[in-house]
Structure 1
Amino acid sequence: MEAQIIKDRQQWNDFVMSSVCCNVTQTYEWAEFGSYLGAEETLRIGVLNDAGQLCATILLIVSRAPGLRQIYFYAPRGPIIDDPASPAMTVLLNYVKVEARKRNAFMLKVEPSVMADDFKWLTALKRRGFVINPHHVHIRNEWVLDISPDEKTLLAGMKDKWRYNIRLAGRKGVKIRRGYGQADIDAFYRLYETTSERDKFFINDKSLYADILQVLGENDRAALFLAEYEGQPISGIIMLLAGPWAYYMYGASSNEHREKMPNHLLQWTGIQWAKEHGCHYYNFRGIPTILEEGQEMWGVYLFKRGFGGYPMLSLATHDLVYRPVTYQLYRMMLDVKHKMDARRELRQARQSSHPSKPEEQKKPDPGQPEKKLEQSKK
């Protein structure tokens, strides 16, 4: 059994997509988007058993921690291994440690795609020296729908209003079509900019979404769907596939014609497309960690919940520390940042509850938009 850098795309993806902890952000192609994710480089490391077959993989984003400018490794929804207590995990982590020393990295951050109460994973990570970090990168709580039943059963599992809205959109003249080419990407991105301004979250450069659609679209593992009214795009979604999973990855909508319910019909189209490709699960992605009214993204949660399904809380973020002093500085800075963010959000909530007179309200500085992590919006 040995670990090495893996360069065989098919070998990598065949293993990842057949694993119980499969995730699109650990597929071979995801490393190609590393530059958009702040990566200085990416690493695809795998463990081969005595028969030459992969038994563990980890795709690493090599980045610098903001403020510290120190290198760290991050595995988005990785590593991929069916048994974290197996010797393959030890071999994998030992190889990662060697690569970390070469770059003077101060930690390895992992967020495996497994349930929060997975005792085997919790025990295996603790025994190998990982510590829990309460500050996640990918949002932990997601809304998932089992789409293996037939369409009639899926529709019956939705809230009455959601079934009605799906049909209403069609009666109101909303048309759904699959998007291709730069013109459709441009149309989606204009809608995405509108959504970002309205809901105050960060979006990447347009070229990222174009690259995702091109690279993953080669094997029909990515699709753009646009909802149009009278020939004008009014909303859109980008769907990704990996193994049995379909991901509602990005969504955008206009401020106009929202009463025509294009988003309900778009999601239903995404579900149908995922079923056609043999997927068993439809991941709507982010919802609030605490499911209580008033939480951030509560409205997003209610929308996703209406289609049926269940919440899936993933394992907490775990860090393996290589340089303790640097890591302590990193955690202190992270704690301060989150406290400042919480105070700002509380202040904004109070201001929205007790607005000043119109002539006293300050206009926002267009050069300093309020930003939140894009992952947290989905």
Structure 2
Amino acid sequence: MSALLVTAAPTVRDTRLRIVTPEVYRTFLTSRSTGADGPSFLQLPSWAKVKDGWQHQLVGWDGESGEPAGVALVLLRPFPGTRKFFAYLPEGPVADWSAPDLDGWLTPLLRHLRTAGAFAVRIGPTPAFRRWDAATLKAGTGPGRKLADVLASEVDPLGTAVAERLRARGWRRCGGDSEDGADAQPRFVYQVPLAGRTTDDLWNGLNQEWRRNVRKARKSGVETVVGSAADLPEFYRLLRITEERDGFRLGRSLAYYQRQYEVLNAEHPGRMKLYLARHEGEILAAHTMITVGGRVWYQTGASADHRREVRPSNALQWRMMLDAHAHGAAVYDMRGIPSTLDPGDRAHGLLRWKLGTGGQAVETLGEWETPLNGTTNHALYRAFQAYLARR
């Protein structure tokens, strides 16, 4: 680990950064899209079209050969009443985080954003920090307990090194070191490894309750199918029911999901799919799935309040996991989980449900921010933080 905790090399090559075309950007992403460490769907060029109210840029760092050595989708949010922007790179940049000369590509990025009128920037470093397997978390469950109270099954030295390097350069982790930080994207996610496993391995990885529920859905006649854009209104209706039942609000409109489905699939057919679970002709559950190379994400799930005993959501997840495996994906990412291990906490139910798949809870590095140099920029950054706190 100590070998990775190094400062920048004595001579840092200030890599040239430039605006790149969507074609150049996509070509680079394709070269990085095999395996479990490929780029996030939040760094796709098409994602900029999903985010209403944001401007964007596609940037790339030139490598020694002149081809991009890294790329980033930069979302720019105007600050009301000014010509300044908040810059956001969700789960990005897509770059070599193991490179010792971190300044070689961070410095030109900050310089470019300052010139573009950004007063602050938020990034989402992609290395993982800690991992816990399902058995470890099940054993560690108890009143008042959180993930941080349980010794991790694995600590990623690269994630530790990147966090140290960012802190040394004045970057601030959003929400500090609190497990319930102010990240826009989930700091804790749940992943099921698929690479090198057979479908029998996946089935045996499910706990007894999951296997029983999948069998029950099958015996009850639950049918799982891939839907279309025409089914999005029904998905959204079920989502509103789910939000009300489970006490959360995503704050997204039907138009948001329709736009997401349209632009992601226009970029790559089949990139976003809507899975439906039907029972006796009625849609009881609907889940969305996104695929980028070797990574597959279960993004959003919705289900009805009635006939839950036929277990439509378990049936859907098993179908989606099998499809991801057949696609050749290295990992099935079930996205965000709460940090609580307290069975009495309402939020723990989501973690418990995902634990049943036998995967791993993963703590990412979270999101990091820094104001850009200048008194005005620092003042705007403080005002922006106050605005986010009010929200």
Bin for the TM-score computed over the shorter chain: 0.7 to 0.9
The one of the two structures with greater contact order (alpha-carbon pairs below 8 A, sep at least 6) is 2
User: For 1:332 and 1:65, how far apart are their aligned partners in 2?
Assistant: 13
Q: How has the CA–CA distance of structure 1 residues 223 and 89 changed in structure 2, closer, same or farther, with 3 Å as cutoff?
A: farther
Q: How has the CA–CA distance of structure 1 residues 68 and 263 changed in structure 2, closer, same or farther, with 3 Å as cutoff?
A: farther
User: For 1:152 and 1:171, how far apart are their aligned partners in 2?
Assistant: 19
| RMSD after superposition | 2.5
- Checking the alignment, whether the CA contact within 8 Å between 1:24 and 1:242 is kept in structure 2 is yes
Q: How has the CA–CA distance of structure 1 residues 131 and 88 changed in structure 2, closer, same or farther, with 3 Å as cutoff?
A: closer
Query: What's the secondary structure of 1:106's corresponding residue?
Result: strand
For residues 37-56 of structure 1, the C-alpha deviation after alignment (integer angstroms, 9 at most, x for no partner) is x41x0111111213122211
User: For 1:101 and 1:205, how far apart are their aligned partners in 2?
Assistant: 34
User: For 2:82 and 2:16, how far apart are their aligned partners in 1?
Assistant: 34
The match for 1:25 is 42
Q: Percent identity?
A: 25
Q: How has the CA–CA distance of structure 1 residues 330 and 87 changed in structure 2, closer, same or farther, with 3 Å as cutoff?
A: same
The match for 1:107 is 120
Q: How has the CA–CA distance of structure 1 residues 80 and 295 changed in structure 2, closer, same or farther, with 3 Å as cutoff?
A: farther
Q: How has the CA–CA distance of structure 1 residues 42 and 258 changed in structure 2, closer, same or farther, with 3 Å as cutoff?
A: same
Choose from 65, 72, 76 the match for 1:62. Answer: 76
For residues 57-97 of structure 1, the C-alpha deviation after alignment (integer angstroms, 9 at most, x for no partner) is 11111114699996211111111112354557534542443
The 10-residue stretch of structure 1 (62-71 or 135-144) with the greater mean CA deviation from structure 2: 62-71
Mapping for residues 61-140 of structure 1, pairs under 5 Å:
61-64=75-78, 71-83=85-97, 85-87=99-101, 90-91=104-105, 93-103=107-117, 105-116=118-129, 118-134=159-175, 135-140=182-187
Does 1:293 find its partner at 2:378? no
Q: Kindly provide the amino acid, as one letter, of the partner of residue 126 in structure 2.
A: S
The match for 2:334 is 284
The 10-residue stretch of structure 1 (136-145 or 292-301) with the greater mean CA deviation from structure 2: 292-301
User: For 1:329 and 1:224, how far apart are their aligned partners in 2?
Assistant: 39
Runs of 5+ consecutive residues of structure 1 not aligned to the other structure:
339-378
Question: What count of residue pairs does the alignment treat as equivalent?
Answer: 332
- Checking the alignment, whether the CA contact within 8 Å between 2:16 and 2:108 is kept in structure 1 is no
Does 1:178 find its partner at 2:255? no
Mapping for residues 179-198 of structure 1, pairs under 5 Å:
179-182=227-230, 184-198=231-245
Give the TM-score, by structure 1 length. 0.80
User: For 1:128 and 1:58, how far apart are their aligned partners in 2?
Assistant: 20
Does 1:325 find its partner at 2:375? no
Q: How has the CA–CA distance of structure 1 residues 62 and 15 changed in structure 2, closer, same or farther, with 3 Å as cutoff?
A: farther
The 10-residue stretch of structure 1 (85-94 or 323-332) with the greater mean CA deviation from structure 2: 85-94
Query: What's the secondary structure of 1:77's corresponding residue?
Result: coil
User: For 1:102 and 1:332, how far apart are their aligned partners in 2?
Assistant: 23
The match for 1:158 is 206
User: For 2:112 and 2:199, how far apart are their aligned partners in 1?
Assistant: 50
The match for 2:26 is 10
Mapping for residues 227-242 of structure 1, pairs under 5 Å:
227-242=277-292
The match for 2:148 is none
User: For 2:82 and 2:315, how far apart are their aligned partners in 1?
Assistant: 45
Give the TM-score, by structure 2 length. 0.78
Does 1:264 find its partner at 2:318? no
The structure carrying a bigger helix percent of its residues is 1
The match for 2:150 is none
Q: How has the CA–CA distance of structure 1 residues 96 and 144 changed in structure 2, closer, same or farther, with 3 Å as cutoff?
A: same
The 10-residue stretch of structure 1 (116-125 or 297-306) with the greater mean CA deviation from structure 2: 116-125
Query: What's the secondary structure of 1:304's corresponding residue?
Result: helix
Q: How has the CA–CA distance of structure 1 residues 68 and 94 changed in structure 2, closer, same or farther, with 3 Å as cutoff?
A: same
User: For 1:276 and 1:214, how far apart are their aligned partners in 2?
Assistant: 24
Q: Kindly provide the amino acid, as one letter, of the partner of residue 150 in structure 1.
A: T
User: For 1:194 and 1:67, how far apart are their aligned partners in 2?
Assistant: 38
Q: How has the CA–CA distance of structure 1 residues 52 and 86 changed in structure 2, closer, same or farther, with 3 Å as cutoff?
A: farther
Query: What's the secondary structure of 2:183's corresponding residue?
Result: coil
User: For 2:34 and 2:279, how far apart are their aligned partners in 1?
Assistant: 40
Q: How has the CA–CA distance of structure 1 residues 178 and 292 changed in structure 2, closer, same or farther, with 3 Å as cutoff?
A: same
- Checking the alignment, whether the CA contact within 8 Å between 1:142 and 1:287 is kept in structure 2 is yes
- Checking the alignment, whether the CA contact within 8 Å between 2:50 and 2:263 is kept in structure 1 is no
- Checking the alignment, whether the CA contact within 8 Å between 1:140 and 1:289 is kept in structure 2 is no
Q: Kindly provide the amino acid, as one letter, of the partner of residue 162 in structure 2.
A: W
Choose from 183, 207, 220 the match for 2:255. Answer: 207
